[in-house]
Structure 1
Amino acid sequence: MRADTVRDLCLADRRATAADALAGGGAGAVEAIVRELTDASSPVDWRHVAPVLRRIGATAFEPLVRALVEAGGEEARERVGAAFMRLGEESLDRYTAALSHPAPLVRRQAVRGIRYCDEPGPSALHALLPLLGDADEEVAVTARDVLMDRGPGLGEGLARSLREIRREGPGRARARALSVLAAVGGEPALSAEDLAAVERLIRVKALDECPVALWACWNHWIAVPGGDRDGIMETLGLTGPRPVTFALGNDIVDSDAHDAGAGGVEALTRVFVTPELDGWTFVLGAWCDPCSEERSEEVLRLCTRLSARYGKAQAYYYGAQGDGSAWLVAERGTVLRRYCETGEGEDELLTLGEPLPFERARRAELGLNPEWDPAQESDEDEEDWRTAAFDLAPELARALGVSPLDIGPDTRARGTGVVALTPYGVARSVPTGAYRV
């Protein structure tokens, strides 16, 4: 098989003809493809050849294994490996057999091959368990990550095997088995001994930890003055508080915010309630979102109640990846302002109250009319304001009190933070996951 035929895969007008020729070329075609993958000067990469190798089928597997072992440089190994791990479900049994290959690179790429199968099935995932204690650290970590990603839903059988590793070893697999257990089954999957050990670790770390900035890709929080954590939780209807470190609380709400971004209602099941920080208590989590369709009206009602009890209450959303801002400010039982600028078509329908002094001042800085009327704004002025408002939530929070995004070692802290269940969490199971303590 000529190299030109493989290189024709790079050309849109020749790709289909070349693919058909190679797919029918058997071992000779595989040999030609491997030569191109191991040639750093070749324009061919895995995107061009993976569909063809899948069509060739079983004949492609062993030549790719040999190429992984024999490839002369890192770039060549990466190119071959990328194609090897995308051979698809037809190679699942071969991937599973390759988990015991003497070369760590082959074992690692076989694990990744299982990950890329749409439906690897319980037997293939169970075959990864011995690799949690693999002598090669990268192989072991890759096996852990695949099990954490693909293991949820496998049920008690996988959890039972992981608990056995926790009890019986090998020792180098125990820590990774715990991470997988937490990811696939959550707290209910942990043994009583493991659960007690985690709780003990949290208590020890919380004794002398310093506050850290509470930061996620999507940040949602309610801010209330003072340190009446229990009273705030009572007003919000939060239950089941469990002590957490700052790292653990932040990791949980960050993970849940990603689920919320994907539309998952399960992301609304819990929140992180901080200690009193520079005179404010924060409730963080997607459940606190003042502008989502699911939560906006309830958050408005809750902030109104909180402000009647504590004088003030504020709710914010800030998308740190350029996803906009929203704020809700209530005082003494009255909502003063709600405003959203997230790029969504219904943002303007959530606007309540008159612009805050901070908003007026920012508009003046931009050379815009502080007393603006959106109906009379020029398109250019409206765009200038929207661009500025997209990132305004943290600044507004700072101006009206404290932003949890600014917390640091110098922040005055009093009390202990907890993760608590929302009413959603009482009615549903909370998401599983392995988090930093």
Structure 2
Amino acid sequence: MPDRVDALLRDLTGEDRGARRAAAPLLADLGAPVVERLLPLCADGASRYSPAESVLHRIGEAALLPLREVRRRGPGRLRRTALRLLVDLGGAECLAEADRRAVERLVRIRLAEEGDVRLPSDAGRWLAFPADRFDDAVAALDLHGLTPATVAMGVAAATAAENSREFRDAQGATATAYRVFITPEFENWQHEGPGRMWRLVWGDSFVDELDGFTLADRLSRRCGEAHFYGIDPYHSAENWYVSREGRGVRGYSTYADPPFFGDPLPFEAGEDEDSEGTVHASTAAFLLSVEPGPMSAHGTRGHGWLATTRPEVPLDRFRGALPV
């Protein structure tokens, strides 16, 4: 057995692509006993998509117990990697209580230090609502288990890590829970008085599967006004949509026919006279609410929140280690 594992590990880390591909499933079939041998190949600084990490993902739940043992007993140089992989493979619910407390303490420290932040600006989809209607927004979107989160943590949770999970509800039917991030309050320098501070909502699966336009209408019924924005450079597509009191009043979608609907809003008055209105989601966001990108600490208030859409699936059940 040791000789076979040594040979497979050599193949897994060698230059021969065919040998690497052949070794991966064979190592995965060996299960828990090879986890500690794979860990040094996944150490921080190595690629997050290394062949060794791929094998651990194939092993799946069977890897959790040996990873917990490394957290408890060491070796020390692998404990940090084991922590990350525990969350990647099983979610934060797999962590020991001491590790949970340590992570929560780190988040509190990072929140106190959080300064300038960056939101994805070259692609993505998001919602916006007036910051003073936070409680209404939480109710409108039926969010649960709100937990403080840094912007880096929240954006990764809602866009890069697992942000939807299927489960069986009380009636035994298949249902889906989504992980959602609500940003801190950001200032819109174009506005004076009410409407100056906005929060954004990120959650790729949430927005895609429940429809950003519909979600904006839900938000605006409770918040008075809400927006949906989408930028898809791969398909050269842009969307922006303004909903007030539960009804869309103006919007643009690249591939809709016609692309505009509703009467032009005051912010569009400066557009070229040959244009029907604003076609860029980032421009609409900049003038109506908040344009993602670099966000100054000077124009930011409070902190962000992670939430789940179903109380049956708490946040610690979503997989994926997050930057803090």
Q: TM-score, normalised to structure 1's length?
A: 0.59
User: How many angstroms apart in 2 are the aligned matches of 1:333 and 1:182?
Assistant: 39
Counterpart of 2:72 in structure 1 is 167
8 Å contact kept, 1:271–1:285: yes
TM-aligned CA deviation for residue 155 of structure 1: 4.3
Matched, 1:200 2:105: yes
Question: 1:427 and 1:183, CA in 2 relative to 1: closer, same or farther beyond 3 A?
Answer: closer
RMSD: 4.0
Secondary structure at the aligned position of 1:188 is classed as helix
Give, in whole Å, the separation in 2 of the partners of 1:144 and 1:397.
35
**Could you tell me which residue of structure 1 aligns to residue 149 of structure 2?**
244
SS of 2:293's equivalent in the other structure is helix
Question: Which of the numbers 127, 131, 137 marks the counterpart of 2:34?
Answer: 127
Q: In 2, distance between residues paired with 1:259 and 1:149?
A: 21
Distance verdict in 2 for CA 1:280–1:143, change over 3 Å:
closer
Output the amino acid matched with 1:394.
Answer: S
Determine the C-alpha separation between the residues in 2 that align with 1:428 and 1:330: 29
1:435 pairs with 2:322: yes
Contact 1:165 1:177 in 2 (8 A): yes
Q: Which residue of 1 aligns with 2:171?
A: none
Aligned residues: 304
* AA of the residue aligned to 2:276: P
Displacement, 1:254?
2.7
SS in 1 for 2:46: helix
Per the alignment, residue 283 of structure 2 pairs with 395
CA deviations on 1:393-413 (whole Å, 9 max, x unpaired) are: 111100112123342333222
- Asked if structure 1 preserves the Cα contact closer than 8 Å seen for 2:35 and 2:67, the reply is no
Shift of 1:321: 5.2
Structure 2 distance, partners of 1:412, 1:143, is: 32
Amino acid across the alignment from 1:208: E
1:307 correspondence with 2:210: no
* Residue 410, structure 1, aligned to residue 298, structure 2: yes
Identity score, percent: 29
What's 1:422 paired with? 309
Q: Output aligned runs, 1:245-394, within 5 Å.
A: 245-256=150-161, 269-278=178-187, 279-287=197-205, 289=207, 292=208, 294-296=209-211, 299-319=212-232, 323-341=236-254, 347-348=256-257, 352-358=261-267, 361-364=270-273, 368-370=274-276, 389=279, 392-394=280-282
Q: Tell me how far apart the structure 1 counterparts of residues 46 and 16 of structure 2 sit (CA, whole Å).
A: 10
Q: Is the 8 A contact 1:152 1:185 kept in 2?
A: no
User: How much does 1:216 deviate?
Assistant: 6.8
Q: What amino acid does structure 2 have at the position aligned with 1:307?
A: S
Deviation track 1:126-155 (CA, whole Å, cap 9, x = no partner) reads 535234347x979x8359844543434634
Give the residue type in structure 2 aligned to 1:410.
Answer: H
- Taking a change above 3 Å as real, the CA distance of residues 267 and 146 of structure 1, as seen in their structure-2 partners, is farther
Query: Computing the radius of gyration over CA atoms, which structure comes out larger, 1 or 2?
Result: 1
- Hey, what's the Cα distance between the residues in 2 that align with 1:370 and 1:425? 46
Assess if the C-alpha contact under 8 Å between 2:116 and 2:295 holds in 1. yes
The equivalent residue for 2:191 is none
Distance change >3 Å, CA 150–CA 228, structure 1 → 2: farther
Higher fraction of strand: 2
Q: Is residue 115–residue 150 contact of structure 1 (8 Å, CA) maintained in 2? A: no
CA contact (8 A) 2:143 2:310 kept: yes
Residues 63-91 of structure 1: CA deviation (Å, up to 9, x unaligned): xxxxxxxxxxxxxxxxxxxxxxxxxxxxx
**For residue 194 of structure 2, what is the aligned residue in structure 1?**
none
Farther off after superposition, 222-231 or 274-283 = 222-231
Q: Aligned partners of 1:189 and 1:122: how far apart in 2?
A: 22
Closer, same or farther in 2 for the Cα pair 1:154/1:107, shift >3 Å? closer
**Residues 174/332 of structure 1: CA separation in 2 closer, same or farther (3 Å cut):** same
Distance (Å, rounded) in 1 between the aligned partners of 2:62 and 2:125? 37
- What do the CA deviations read for 1:207-235 (whole angstroms, capped 9, x no partner)? 12114121176422111112343331112
Mean CA deviation greater in 275-284 or 112-121: 112-121
Gaps of 5+ in 2: 166-173, 188-196
Give the corresponding residue for 1:97: 6
Q: 1:233/1:168 Cα in 2 relative to 1: closer, same or farther (>3 Å)?
A: same
Asked if structure 2 preserves the Cα contact closer than 8 Å seen for 1:153 and 1:184, the reply is: no
2:164–2:206 contact (8 Å) kept in structure 1? no
The CA deviation string for residues 256-275 of structure 1, in whole angstroms up to 9 with x for no partner, is 59999xxxx99971111112
For the residue of structure 2 that corresponds to 1:418, the secondary structure is: strand
Residue identity matched to 1:393: A
Q: Give 1:285 deviation, angstroms.
A: 1.3
Contact 2:230–2:239 (Cα < 8 Å) also in 1: yes
- 2:85 match: secondary structure: helix
Which protein is richer in helix relative to its size? 1
Give, in angstroms, the shift of residue 319 of structure 1.
2.6
Cα deviations by residue, 1:299-348 (Å, 9 ceiling, x for unpaired): 4344234324333211111235565221110123331123322x6xxx43
Question: Does the aligned pair in 1 maintain the 2:43–2:78 contact within 8 Å?
Answer: no
